[in-house]
Amino acid sequence: MNKNSTIYVAGHGGLAGSAVVRALRCRGYDNIVWRTHTQLDLTDQAAVERFFSDEKPGYVFLAAAKVGGIHANNAYPAEFIRDNLAIQTNVIHSAWKNGVSKLLFLGSSCIYPKLAPQPMSEHCLLTGPLEPTNEWYAVAKIAGIKMCQAYRRQYGFDAISLMPTNLYGPGDNFNLENSHVMPALIRKFHEAKLGGAKEVIMWGTGTPRREFLHVDDLGAAAVFLMEKYTGEEFINVGVGSDVAIRDLAEAIKVAVGYSGKITQDLSKPDGTPRKLMDVSRLAALGWKPSITLEAGIRMTYQWFLENVGQMRD
């Protein structure tokens, strides 16, 4: 990419997409185009084709997706597979058809088997059953990887894929019904602190281990890979270490300043026992994250405090 390249960030308003925009601007890329969902429905094939035909972007970051936590994936499986397949199919095909120089597809670590060996290397893909609570989303993301590879093989389209681990940070979804574990816990502890509650209820046993990557590190990695990497193999993006959910809750409790106790709701599902990424391939390319979990939690809580008044339930 050169600094004058027209760059389309699909999903610019989301957690990952907004971080990509920030990273691009930090690197001096200012010719960035985007559309809100109201302006462009990415599940509408004809509308996506018109957009690419009119704008002719040189580079595309495909960060748009329908996302959610365990509850949302369980409640809306048809929407998760339908919408994500439509979004990525329309964008990838129209990008190739309209002469985009390079496309980066953002996947998810949920593509890996539920009981994949830890840490999970890129070679673990399609080696076992998926986690049932999010298999619909995972199948769609696997299809996105394979579509990028297929378009590279058949058409020579420079489409690359990266698989981020669990993301958090500014712009996250803090809705308690459909958010991921980090923002859900931040909001729970915050509201418990304000309300003087004696306890915060945590879903499940707290024993599953998760890896967390600050979204601004993800944005930096995405721009780095767009500049430096071209290849059919997808790349894991993570920190290479994980934490038990119980310990994550304790760290958030400290950051928020809550003094009550944590209790467990054992009727709620845990999800995958462990999800740790093998990031050796990315490290070999010369990139590593810069934001520690403790610092990231503090930064995210501060962003939450500054924006809680504008959030919708």
Q: Closest by alpha carbon to 24, among 226, 236, 163?
A: 226
Is 16 flagged in the annotation as binding? Answer: yes
Is 156 flagged in the annotation as binding? Answer: no
Asked if residues 181 and 245 have their Cβ atoms less than 8 Å apart, the reply is yes
Is 161 flagged in the annotation as binding? Answer: no
Which residue in the block uniquely carries the two structure tokens 């769609």? Answer: 140
CA distances from 41 to 34, 44, 49, 57, 65 (A): 12, 6, 11, 17, 11
Q: Which residues are catalytic?
A: 137
Is 251 flagged in the annotation as binding? Answer: no
Is 269 flagged in the annotation as binding? Answer: no
Residues 6 or more apart whose CB falls under 8 angstroms from that of 253 comprise: 189, 200, 262
Is 180 flagged in the annotation as binding? Answer: yes
Is 109 flagged in the annotation as binding? Answer: yes
Which residue in the block uniquely carries the two structure tokens 């997706």? Answer: 65
CA distances from 183 to 17, 102, 138, 175, 195 (A): 17, 33, 21, 8, 18
Is 203 flagged in the annotation as binding? Answer: yes
Q: Which helix (H) or strand (E) holds 142?
A: helix 135-155
Q: For residue 119, say if its preceding peptide bond is cis, omega within 30 degrees of 0.
A: yes
Asked if residues 133 and 70 have their Cβ atoms less than 8 Å apart, the reply is yes
Is 12 flagged in the annotation as binding? Answer: yes
Is 66 flagged in the annotation as binding? Answer: no
Q: What are phi and psi of 10, to 5 degrees?
A: -80, 125
Asked if residues 215 and 173 have their Cβ atoms less than 8 Å apart, the reply is no
Is 126 flagged in the annotation as binding? Answer: no
Asked if residues 207 and 246 have their Cβ atoms less than 8 Å apart, the reply is yes
Is 37 flagged in the annotation as binding? Answer: no
Is 141 flagged in the annotation as binding? Answer: yes
SS3 66: coil
* The two three-digit tokens of residue 219, written as one number: 């944005």
Is 11 flagged in the annotation as binding? Answer: yes
Quickly count: other Cβ atoms within 10 Å of residue 231's Cβ. 13
Rg from Cα positions in the chain: 19
Is 207 flagged in the annotation as binding? Answer: no
Is 165 flagged in the annotation as binding? Answer: yes
Is 270 flagged in the annotation as binding? Answer: yes
Is 93 flagged in the annotation as binding? Answer: no
Q: Closest by alpha carbon to 11, among 90, 99, 72?
A: 90
Q: Which residues are annotated as a binding site for NADP(+)?
A: 11-17, 106-109, 141, 164-167, 180
Which residues sit in the known binding site?
11-17, 106-109, 141, 164-167, 180, 188, 203, 210, 270
Binding site residue list for substrate: 188, 203, 210, 270
